[in-house]
A and B are shown apart, each in its own frame.
Chain A
């Protein structure tokens, strides 16, 4: 069975079989999410509905976490919606969709961006990295390990964005003090107020002992 419009993934162990874009997202990604949600017993057995052809979509190849995803998207789709709804990488979160909270922070060519303010289409050829691409439970990124060690989160919803910001910060010009780190982390809001632990985690990875502020 071959559908020339079907999304394709070069290296993914299982081909995505559903095309999706922002308005069809709920139907897409059935297999992966249903498996992650064993409690929806009744729903798992339901047949997967065929997504109709979606006029207005365009093909794009996005390199995400080292894997090229050939997908069709609405040209208006944000990078955030594309990651979450089309590629099914839900670790990146939507907190405000307006670039105000930082929960959707990902890397484009190593630099941090608010993915809700980027159109996915504009990132063909770029290297996109999400929280799923920096470490896994068996091999955490040192920043992930430091967040765990320092309790750098409570509810966890802003955490992917915080960690992605923090990892990018490592390569940015940033002074040694806690105040310098705070300045560079001020675009990522944490309502639980885990800020002191977040700063401690980042400073540990940077190899700085904490420099106190009067």
Chain B
């Protein structure tokens, strides 16, 4: 039998197709109240006075003084700087100040809380900000010596805007008082992040149980913010002694929760006449928003990917994430890499243009091959596929001929070459020490992991790995709902690690379980000896060496590789950019479930097309001014181009059946390919999204 590599029926298919799957807002609990968050209306200042201008009968009201004595008013994540509720200082619009709960939603929404502030001048420009949340430098070789060898120096500045996740299910949780503590049911990517945050809020001894309900998309947007909402619902529920549900409406979700970090990336590159890169000086600036949250690690991944999939002996990458008085930016599919890969890939086409060579030639000359080292000094092995993906994409699209054929038309074609590190950076996976478990059942086995199904196919893909390893039918593998009192901490469902890392632990569990079963089937063993559970911890490959101080070493256990080719049409009258066709050639190690893998690439590419062309967050006075799906548009089926998805396989030896991480990779490629297609049309843009206004002003300067 062979279930890995086939597109079996999804475990969650029937529930989703019949409407039976239960999402957070579909649940109701006896006596439940509804919660509401009263938020700041200024970007910077201090709260002077809070007045309740309504009849408070029947209301539960919570402010910072309701934080339990054993607890702390911080959303524990990387640093302890962001409060659940404003103490006094306000750092951004929509910062939570007061919480209300009531059984009657209409009364709840009508309650008027008047907050008086002392206003201070805000900072919105990350380059004008004097407060950095994180800085880092990657240094390789000798930059000056590199520039001394250069025949040509090419400079460029590239900018990307915010991007909103727009998971179709808004954020939501229900908090239920339980055993003197709290149980949370919610739309959550990382249940144990919520446990950590609530233990900080309530005190380390508090009973905390977190259960992930069916989750209507995450894309990183439900990595850290659910901790905040869960904290709010918890405070209200404990004070009221009743369950409390908080579900954001679309506008609140867009205004208050995290987005992709806007970026400014400057490149200064020394290159020889023959196209060889000899010096790369890169400056990366991220707008972190008002609190640290995940910005240091977003900056880290962004900087590590900033030199692109290219060989260069002399590289300096300096990064800083700056504080501004806007809601904190956070995790979003790609996690810093889409920003820096946009910059390097747009820059590579400028270098090609400066040298008078085509975009393929400049990349062929410099693409990483096995044996080369990355900017952090990581020596790549046989699972490096930059050239194979490039060659396949160029050949498949007949890129060079098509580029010539389109000249003089209103169509352009561009490409991008990119890579994405799988799993946590450096020693991150070692520190996480993730666990997974397999439990024998009366008919097969049950998977116990905290990795969440958020649409990407976690349950299905994990069950395939286990079924294949045990040699039992896929249908005999069950997957437990993530409940932090029942499943081990498998680490967060982020960083393209759920298949490669957690899948590998499950494979090891299955190997152990198989040995124990001997010649018996799971059902036979169960009948004879009863149930047992195997728990295993992740064992990162021993060769990984990483230095957090110097940013040198093996940044990732492996990388997945991609090359996108995008053809666009420019409307000469409206300056609208229409994507016509996208070819995505992506090397993912091994596709455990080809249909799911293609789905990840189609979906990530659609989000990348949106990021490139239409998704424009208009920030005005520190707040998203277009917080609705009418004014912040994402691709519909009509705006999504026809796609040709090509999966290449080049096994990573320590992944389950050779699998690498692939969830984020497809987000990296479309934006620079679109901008390069516009450059092919003669439109010199270095900023996304490529809105008609920007295209028009770039055309005007032609």
Selected from A37, A131, A155, A198, the residue in CB contact (under 8 A) with B27 is A37
Q: What is the number of residues of chain B that contact chain A, defined by CB distance less than 8 Å?
A: 78
Say whether B28 contacts A155, CB under 8 Å. Answer: no
Say whether A22 contacts B637, CB under 8 Å. Answer: no
In the docked arrangement, what's the CA distance between A16 and B167, Å? 33
Whether, in the assembled complex, A174 has its beta carbon less than 8 Å from a beta carbon of chain B, the answer is: no
In the docked arrangement, what's the CA distance between A44 and B28, Å? 11
In the docked arrangement, what's the CA distance between A132 and B107, Å? 32
Whether, in the assembled complex, A1 has its beta carbon less than 8 Å from a beta carbon of chain B, the answer is: no
In the docked arrangement, what's the CA distance between A137 and B13, Å? 10
Question: Which B residues touch A39, using CB under 8 A?
Answer: 185, 211, 481, 483
Say whether B30 contacts A196, CB under 8 Å. Answer: no
What per-residue 1/0 map shows which CB atoms of A201-214 lie under 8 Å from chain B?
Answer: 00000000000110
Given the interface pairs A42-B178, A46-B30, the reply to whether A191 lies near B607 with Cβ below 8 Å is yes
What per-residue 1/0 map shows which CB atoms of B27-52 lie under 8 Å from chain A?
Answer: 11111111000000000000000000
Selected from B19, B176, B481, B629, the residue in CB contact (under 8 A) with A43 is B176
Say whether B638 contacts A191, CB under 8 Å. Answer: no
Least CB separation from B454: chain A residue: A155
Q: What is the number of residues of chain A that contact chain B, defined by CB distance less than 8 Å?
A: 76
Say whether B169 contacts A93, CB under 8 Å. Answer: yes
What per-residue 1/0 map shows which CB atoms of B625-655 lie under 8 Å from chain A?
Answer: 0001110001111101011000000000000
Say whether B217 contacts A191, CB under 8 Å. Answer: yes
In the docked arrangement, what's the CA distance between A191 and B10, Å? 19
In the docked arrangement, what's the CA distance between A189 and B164, Å? 15
Shortest A194–chain B CB gap in Å is 6
Say whether B603 contacts A33, CB under 8 Å. Answer: no
Whether, in the assembled complex, A160 has its beta carbon less than 8 Å from a beta carbon of chain B, the answer is: yes
Whether, in the assembled complex, A103 has its beta carbon less than 8 Å from a beta carbon of chain B, the answer is: yes
Least CB separation from B483: chain A residue: A39
Question: Which A residues touch B636, using CB under 8 A?
Answer: 186-189
What per-residue 1/0 map shows which CB atoms of B150-173 lie under 8 Å from chain A?
Answer: 000000000000000111111000
Selected from A91, A163, A186, A194, the residue in CB contact (under 8 A) with B599 is A194
Question: Which B residues touch A34, using CB under 8 A?
Answer: 28-30
Q: Which of A28, A40, A183 has its CB near the most chain B CB atoms (within 10 A)?
A: A40
In the docked arrangement, what's the CA distance between A171 and B76, Å? 53
In the docked arrangement, what's the CA distance between A183 and B306, Å? 39
Given the interface pairs A193-B604, A193-B635, the reply to whether A151 lies near B19 with Cβ below 8 Å is no
Whether, in the assembled complex, A154 has its beta carbon less than 8 Å from a beta carbon of chain B, the answer is: yes
Whether, in the assembled complex, B15 has its beta carbon less than 8 Å from a beta carbon of chain A, the answer is: yes
Question: Which A residues touch B481, using CB under 8 A?
Answer: 39
In the docked arrangement, what's the CA distance between A186 and B291, Å? 38
* Total A-B residue contacts, Cβ distance less than 8 Å: 225
Whether, in the assembled complex, A135 has its beta carbon less than 8 Å from a beta carbon of chain B, the answer is: yes
Whether, in the assembled complex, B249 has its beta carbon less than 8 Å from a beta carbon of chain A, the answer is: yes
Say whether B599 contacts A154, CB under 8 Å. Answer: yes
Least CB separation from B247: chain A residue: A94
Shortest A11–chain B CB gap in Å is 20
Given the interface pairs A98-B630, A156-B455, the reply to whether A24 lies near B19 with Cβ below 8 Å is no
Question: Which A residues touch B409, using CB under 8 A?
Answer: none
In the docked arrangement, what's the CA distance between A30 and B183, Å? 18
Whether, in the assembled complex, B379 has its beta carbon less than 8 Å from a beta carbon of chain A, the answer is: no
Question: Which A residues touch B429, using CB under 8 A?
Answer: none
B98-106, B115-123, B137-145 - interface stretch: B98-106
Question: Which B residues touch A153, using CB under 8 A?
Answer: 13, 16-17, 455
Question: Which A residues touch B528, using CB under 8 A?
Answer: none
Shortest B440–chain A CB gap in Å is 22
In the docked arrangement, what's the CA distance between A191 and B609, Å? 12
Selected from A24, A89, A92, the residue in CB contact (under 8 A) with B103 is A24
In the docked arrangement, what's the CA distance between A100 and B245, Å? 24
Say whether B30 contacts A23, CB under 8 Å. Answer: no
In the docked arrangement, what's the CA distance between A196 and B179, Å? 47
Interface residues in B32-74 (C-beta closer than 8 Å to A): 32-34
Interface residues in B560-616 (C-beta closer than 8 Å to A): 595-596, 599, 602-607
Question: Which B residues touch A27, using CB under 8 A?
Answer: 30-32, 103
Question: Which A residues touch B245, using CB under 8 A?
Answer: 26
Question: Which A residues touch B25, using CB under 8 A?
Answer: 84, 90, 94
In the docked arrangement, what's the CA distance between A199 and B246, Å? 35
Given the interface pairs A33-B26, A136-B18, the reply to whether A100 lies near B630 with Cβ below 8 Å is yes
In the docked arrangement, what's the CA distance between A28 and B39, Å? 29
Say whether B216 contacts A22, CB under 8 Å. Answer: no
Whether, in the assembled complex, B427 has its beta carbon less than 8 Å from a beta carbon of chain A, the answer is: no
Say whether B250 contacts A154, CB under 8 Å. Answer: no
Whether, in the assembled complex, B20 has its beta carbon less than 8 Å from a beta carbon of chain A, the answer is: yes
In the docked arrangement, what's the CA distance between A147 and B34, Å? 34
Shortest B236–chain A CB gap in Å is 13
Least CB separation from A88: chain B residue: B28
Question: Which B residues touch A36, using CB under 8 A?
Answer: 22, 27
In the docked arrangement, what's the CA distance between A163 and B21, Å? 15
Q: Which of B13, B34, B185 has its CB near the most chain A CB atoms (within 10 A)?
A: B13
Say whether B602 contacts A159, CB under 8 Å. Answer: no
Least CB separation from A199: chain B residue: B637
Question: Which B residues touch A212, using CB under 8 A?
Answer: 642
Least CB separation from B645: chain A residue: A196
Shortest A195–chain B CB gap in Å is 4
Interface residues in A114-128 (C-beta closer than 8 Å to B): none
Say whether B219 contacts A191, CB under 8 Å. Answer: yes
Say whether B216 contacts A93, CB under 8 Å. Answer: yes
Say whether A101 contacts B168, CB under 8 Å. Answer: yes
Say whether B168 contacts A43, CB under 8 Å. Answer: no
Shortest B25–chain A CB gap in Å is 7
Say whether A98 contacts B629, CB under 8 Å. Answer: yes
Say whether A192 contacts B22, CB under 8 Å. Answer: no
Shortest A9–chain B CB gap in Å is 18
Say whether A186 contacts B637, CB under 8 Å. Answer: yes
Say whether B31 contacts A46, CB under 8 Å. Answer: yes
Selected from A26, A97, A132, the residue in CB contact (under 8 A) with B18 is A132
Whether, in the assembled complex, A95 has its beta carbon less than 8 Å from a beta carbon of chain B, the answer is: yes
Least CB separation from A41: chain B residue: B178
Whether, in the assembled complex, A113 has its beta carbon less than 8 Å from a beta carbon of chain B, the answer is: no
Say whether B168 contacts A198, CB under 8 Å. Answer: no
Selected from A93, A135, A154, A182, the residue in CB contact (under 8 A) with B23 is A93
Say whether A192 contacts B455, CB under 8 Å. Answer: yes
Selected from A40, A97, A189, the residue in CB contact (under 8 A) with B634 is A189
Say whether B103 contacts A157, CB under 8 Å. Answer: no
Whether, in the assembled complex, A190 has its beta carbon less than 8 Å from a beta carbon of chain B, the answer is: yes
Say whether A156 contacts B606, CB under 8 Å. Answer: no
Say whether A98 contacts B250, CB under 8 Å. Answer: yes
Question: Which A residues touch B216, using CB under 8 A?
Answer: 93, 155-158
Whether, in the assembled complex, A82 has its beta carbon less than 8 Å from a beta carbon of chain B, the answer is: no
In the docked arrangement, what's the CA distance between A23 and B179, Å? 29
Selected from B14, B32, B34, B640, the residue in CB contact (under 8 A) with A195 is B640
In the docked arrangement, what's the CA distance between A26 and B30, Å? 8
What per-residue 1/0 map shows which CB atoms of A37-70 lie under 8 Å from chain B?
Answer: 1011011101111000000000000000000000
List 9 tightest A-B contacts by C-beta distance, closest first.
Answer: A91-B19, A157-B216, A155-B455, A156-B16, A193-B603, A154-B455, A193-B606, A131-B19, A100-B629
Chain B residues with CB under 8 Å of chain A are 7, 9-10, 12-23, 25-34, 103-107, 165-170, 176, 178-179, 183, 185, 211, 214-219, 243, 245, 249-250, 454-457, 481, 483, 595-596, 599, 602-607, 628-630, 634-638, 640, 642-643
9 A-B residue pairings within 8 Å (CB atoms): A26-B103, A30-B28, A37-B27, A40-B176, A144-B17, A157-B216, A183-B638, A190-B168, A193-B602
Besides A148-B13, A159-B16, 4 new A-B residue pairs in contact (Cβ under 8 A), listed by A number: A34-B30, A91-B20, A103-B168, A195-B637
Chain A residues with CB under 8 Å of chain B are 22-30, 33-34, 36-37, 39-40, 42-44, 46-49, 84, 89-98, 100-101, 103, 130-132, 135-137, 140, 144-145, 147-148, 151, 153-160, 163, 182-183, 185-199, 212-213
